[in-house]
Amino acid sequence: MRPVLNPLVLSLKESATLAINARAKELRRQGANIVHFGFGQSPFPVPEVIQQALAENTDKKDYLPTQGLPELCEAVAAFYNNEFGYSFLPSNVCVGPGSKELIFEIIYLTEGPLIIPAPSWVSYGPQAALRGKAIITVPTKRENNYRLTAEELDNACYNSGQGQKLLVFNNPNNPTGALYHEKEVKELAEICRAYQVIVISDEIYAMIDYDQQAMSSLAVHYPEGTIVSGGLSKSFAAGGYRLGVVLIPDSLEMVMASLRSVASETFSAVSAPIQYAALKAYGDFETVRPFVKKTTDIYHYVMHYLHARFIKMGLNCPKPAGAFYQFPDFDNYRAPLAKKGVITSASLAHALLTENSVAVLPGSDFYLPTTNLGVRVAGVDFDGQHALDTWPGSDHVTKEYFREAFPKIIQGCECIAAFLNQFM
Ligand SMILES: Cc1ncc(COP(=O)(O)O)c(C=O)c1O
């Protein structure tokens, strides 16, 4: 049979992150000693109190309200208001099977093009394409740590003409680890307000902020037009639980009403036991806070170790301030790489994996031109349980301890250095 498929689906390939994960796993299965800097998953175990809450609620079998368990919506609003100074009500919260799905549904039910700062997370573009929505990519500058400026946003909004537009704004950022500070966010808020932009503020990494609460959000400076998304996947280490949240202000009540309808006709409601587990995470956050703090300290240390090594190798790389990614570029090696036939980030990522056994994602998957030689490094190839059990605190990390607890992080640096050594 030759089924006729939706043409919007035909152009879609497998998500780049999931594809590199499958490839690295397959190479490992075949016995290759791969360093996996390709997949952005928390290496830590789900905090025990959350696991326990899940175990205690396996009897919860009834469908829950589409928007979510009312106590959970209350806990989520309180969590965001307390931690970040937002002003959401429980009725502003919608729970879904991962923030990825919720972001897609918001893209689906709103009109207008989607503005994507480049580099940005791999899935926003394909989600917009699935809806037949136009994408406006806005290149950001390495010198500005790949942070979108008010001027860049202003130009993009102006050039896109009249009519509603959406902006997806990821802070802290995947793939760069960049974090926006108050002054920049205030300036961006002014532009958003002037053009009445609907913002999806993707804050899935909000708690992984190395300096603790230095992050500033459009939900504070442009609350009337900002939808916040988040969930259990990153700071709570529970990506596989598939629970995400969005917080939609009253001023966008029509978006919430439509989301409720779309959700009720698609996923109906998130699994009830998972919602009770999430209630523990958000509703009793003080029991989880030490875990979030400790894991953030570990990410901070590991990411700054990687950053220092990359700078020593002669790569250009803004220092990450949050999440667990960074974005080194190999521009300084462009000429010798070209002699080898490596002129795109995709061929660079391929060479790093096949010649030196390091999996990274090419910058072209993050909306950059193919010849930009940036790659995304996810610094999470370590045994999270072991790190959590043995972490001595950032001030007490010895060389011996680091080598014992984070061998793949060191191996990854050595592999990239060996790759570059061929050009010396
Ligand atoms: C920037 C960003 N947003 C959203 C997500 C989706 O998270 P989830 O669907 O697990 O909530 C991810 C996951 O990798 C991400 O990196």
Render pLDDT for 274-330 as a digit per residue (tens, 0 to 9).
Answer: 999 999 999 999 999 999 999 999 999 999 999 999 999 999 999 999 999 999 999
* Mutate which of 104, 124, 232, 234 for ligand 1 pocket (most atoms within 8 A of beta carbon): 234
**Protein residue closest via CA to atom 4 of ligand 1:** 100
Over residues 99-138, the pLDDT tens digits come to: 999 999 999 999 999 999 999 999 999 999 999 999 999 9
Helix (H) and strand (E) counts for the chain? 17, 12
Ligand 1 atom at shortest distance from the alpha carbon of 243 = 11
Ligand 1 atom at shortest distance from the alpha carbon of 230 = 11
Q: Is 322 in the pocket of ligand 1 (CB under 6 A)?
A: no
Ligand 1 atom at shortest distance from the alpha carbon of 17 = 14
Cα 283 from Cα 267, distance rounded (Å)? 24
Q: Is 234 in the pocket of ligand 1 (CB under 6 A)?
A: no
Over residues 18-76, the pLDDT tens digits come to: 777 788 888 889 999 999 999 889 999 999 999 999 999 999 999 999 999 999 999 99
Q: What is the mean pLDDT of residues 187-210?
A: 97
Question: How much of the chain exceeds pLDDT 70, in percent?
Answer: 99
Q: Is 233 exposed, middle or buried (0-12, 13-18, 19+ CB in 10 A)?
A: buried
CA of 423 to the centre of ligand 1 (A): 36
Angle in degrees, 0-180, between the axes of helices 285-312 and 272-283, rounded to the nearest 10: 80
Per-residue model confidence (pLDDT) at position 22: 80
Q: Is 419 in the pocket of ligand 1 (CB under 6 A)?
A: no
Cα 130 from Cα 9, distance rounded (Å)? 6
Over residues 325-343, the pLDDT tens digits come to: 999 999 999 999 999 999 9
Per-residue model confidence (pLDDT) at position 15: 67
CA of 387 to the centre of ligand 1 (A): 23
Per-residue model confidence (pLDDT) at position 271: 98
Q: Is 29 exposed, middle or buried (0-12, 13-18, 19+ CB in 10 A)?
A: exposed
Over residues 143-165, the pLDDT tens digits come to: 999 999 999 999 999 999 999 99
69 Cβ contact partners less than 8 Å away, ≥ 6 residues apart: 95, 272, 275, 276, 279
CA of 174 to the centre of ligand 1 (A): 9
Side chain identity at 393, as an amino acid letter? G
Q: What is the mean pLDDT of residues 356-365?
A: 94
Per-residue model confidence (pLDDT) at position 273: 98
7-45+288-421 adopts what CATH topology? Aspartate Aminotransferase, domain 1 (3.90.1150)
Q: Is 7 exposed, middle or buried (0-12, 13-18, 19+ CB in 10 A)?
A: exposed
CA of 168 to the centre of ligand 1 (A): 13
* Mutate which of 100, 176, 327 for ligand 1 pocket (most atoms within 8 A of beta carbon): 100
Q: Is 398 exposed, middle or buried (0-12, 13-18, 19+ CB in 10 A)?
A: exposed
Residue 97 has which token pair? 């099977």
Is pTM beyond 0.95 here? yes
Q: Is 100 in the pocket of ligand 1 (CB under 6 A)?
A: yes
Q: What is the pairing mode between strands 166-170 and 358-359?
A: unpaired
3-state secondary structure of 264: helix
Q: Say yes or no to pLDDT of 140 above 80.
A: yes
Ligand 1 atom at shortest distance from the alpha carbon of 232 = 11
- Decide if 60 contacts 272 (C-beta within 8 A): yes
Q: Domain locations in the chain?
A: 7-45+288-421, 55-286
| The two domains 7-45+288-421 and 55-286 share their CATH topology (first three levels equal) | no
55-286 adopts what CATH topology? Aspartate Aminotransferase; domain 2 (3.40.640)
CA of 366 to the centre of ligand 1 (A): 14
- Look over the chain and give the mean of its residue pLDDT values, rounded to a whole number: 96
Q: Say yes or no to pLDDT of 260 above 90.
A: yes
What beta strand segments (E) does 329-381 contain? 358-359, 361-362, 375-378
CA of 204 to the centre of ligand 1 (A): 6
Peptide bond before residue 126 is cis, with ω within 30 degrees of 0: no
Residue 16 pLDDT level (bands cut at 50, 70, 90):
low
* Mutate which of 103, 106, 121, 327 for ligand 1 pocket (most atoms within 8 A of beta carbon): 121
